Amino acid sequence: MKKVQISDDCIGCGVCEGLCDYLFKINSATGISEPLKNNLTDSEEIKMAEEASSSCPVGAINIIDVPEGQEDESLKAA
């Protein structure tokens, strides 16, 4: 499993949302990106999240490996 993390470096440019709006959105209150799904298990979602990460102009999106059994229960998709 992989997890999406967005750092404080986010400038809210919307590149990630433009690439995959089912994984990212710009929060209208804060003006920065937020993940719609933190824990990724689907290979296509992981691929798209990694593409968004590599396309981010400030490198604010990180996709990290999460060891099995260490998932954050509060962030699991419903």
Order across the sheet with 61-65: list the strands.
39-40, 2-6, 61-65
Q: Write down the pTM of the prediction.
A: 0.82
| Domains by residue range for the chain, with CATH | 2-67 (3.30.70.20)
Report the C-alpha gap between 7 and 36 in whole angstroms.
15
Closest CA to 39 of 8, 73, 15, 10: 73
Question: 18 CB contacts (<8 Å, ≥6 apart)?
Answer: none
pLDDT tens, residue by residue, 6-23: 999 999 999 999 999 999
Determine what percent of the chain falls in helix, strand and coil, rounding each to the nearest 5: 25, 25, 50
Check residue 76 and give its pLDDT. 44
